[in-house]
Amino acid sequence: MTRNAVAVVAGVFALLLDVWTVAPAPNLPLLIPAVIVPEIAPWGAIVALLALAVSLRWGRGVARLAGLAFGSAALVCALLPLAELPGTIAASDAAMRAALGNAADDGPRFDLHRFFFGRKLDPRVRVTHDLPVLTRDGTRLALDLYRAPGAGPHPAVVVIYGGGWRGGLRSDTASEDRRLAALGYDAIAIEYRLAPQYRFPVELDDVDDALATIARNARAWGVDPRRVALLGRSAGGELALLAAYRRQPLTIRAVVAYYPPVDLRGGYLEPRLFDPGHIRMLVRDYLGGPPDAAPGAYRAASPIDAVRAGLPPTFVVGGARDQLVSLRFQRDFRDALRAHGDTVVALEFPWSNHAFDEIPYGLGGQLARNYVAQFLTATL
């Protein structure tokens, strides 16, 4: 390959990578780069700068111009999330202060060193796997307990995985559970049965039964049953919200939901340019059919229909580029909670897609975890 060809290829490669900061994914395989690339924008900017350097060093004539054009376009794409970062932090800080008042902390939000090098997990966290949960119909499930360092009882965060109600494992949240335990919370990863074999409300009943198991064993496990938060992602966020808004044997002091589907009827009916996650199929499998066939199930499974006065403080976060759960439903949900006088923090990350926090030290992942830690400190 000639040097001119290398100059052009470098620019094209950088653009094909960085374009996913702005391009929607037309199918499920391409949803992966559409989720990851915006969250690793500093790396994308480095790739674009390297492509520009190669074009300047090796390119000649038209090849140099082409390489510079492709590399410059890639750099613009990569810099967009970074340009949005300061304003997003300011808006998120304001939302935290508005909801929590003086309890909102002005600590660090994003650490570039941590982005590139990560962070070691606390080795003092002890894990007990496969503690049994007996459901109301006799099915045996299990949970994993990540114990915070030091003597208890500790406040607890019950973690519910996502997966479109069709997939997911307790182990999916292991890294997050360890981080929560390192912060001083007993993190408890629970499980629930999955669609289409099991349909709503089985999944919610399983969550309730896990919470009842935790209540029965709280003293033995060193868990404070009066200081409990629920935390879920996507489908797990929907279940966390529904469970937190019901009567429970534990005192639910707060609920955290990452990009949760809060209006299942609205989400089903909303037209989509692309549907890489096959949302309508997932919802039909979960609820037993389309909205006109199961209207009661759609209402019962939608957290927005469970809003009332006196709910525990709620934290929701989503991305403006989310292709599975539209951010406008989060806004409607936020407004409904505020109208009833409930405490709610609703954060929006303009560059983020669904599951953005799967990149733990990426832009959105760092921000979300820092704000969630602040929220839990204020509410637990």
Q: How far apart are CA 352 and CA 37, in angstroms?
A: 9
Q: Pick the catalytic residue: 18, 154, 354, 357?
A: 354
Whether residue 201 has a cis bond before it, omega within 30° of 0:
yes
Q: Pick the catalytic residue: 55, 234, 302, 352?
A: 234
**322 is a catalytic site residue:** yes
Q: With contact defined as beta carbons under 8 Å apart, do 265 and 301 qualify?
A: no
**208 is a catalytic site residue:** no
Q: How far apart are CA 325 and CA 313, in angstroms?
A: 22
Q: Between the CA of residue 259 and those of 131, 170, 368, what are the distances in Å?
A: 28, 19, 11
Positive or negative torsion for Cα 370, 335, 332, 164: positive
**CA neighbor of 13 nearest in space, from 64, 80, 58, 67:** 67
Q: How far apart are CA 71 and CA 44, in angstroms?
A: 11
**278 is a catalytic site residue:** no
Helix (H) or strand (E) holding 22: none
- Sort 118 into a burial class: Cβ within 10 Å, 0-12 / 13-18 / 19+: exposed
Coil vs helix vs strand at 372:
helix
Q: Pick the catalytic residue: 322, 342, 352, 357?
A: 322
Residue 293: Cβ within 10 Å count: 11
Q: How far apart are CA 32 and CA 112, in angstroms?
A: 23
Which residues are designated catalytic?
A: 234, 322, 354
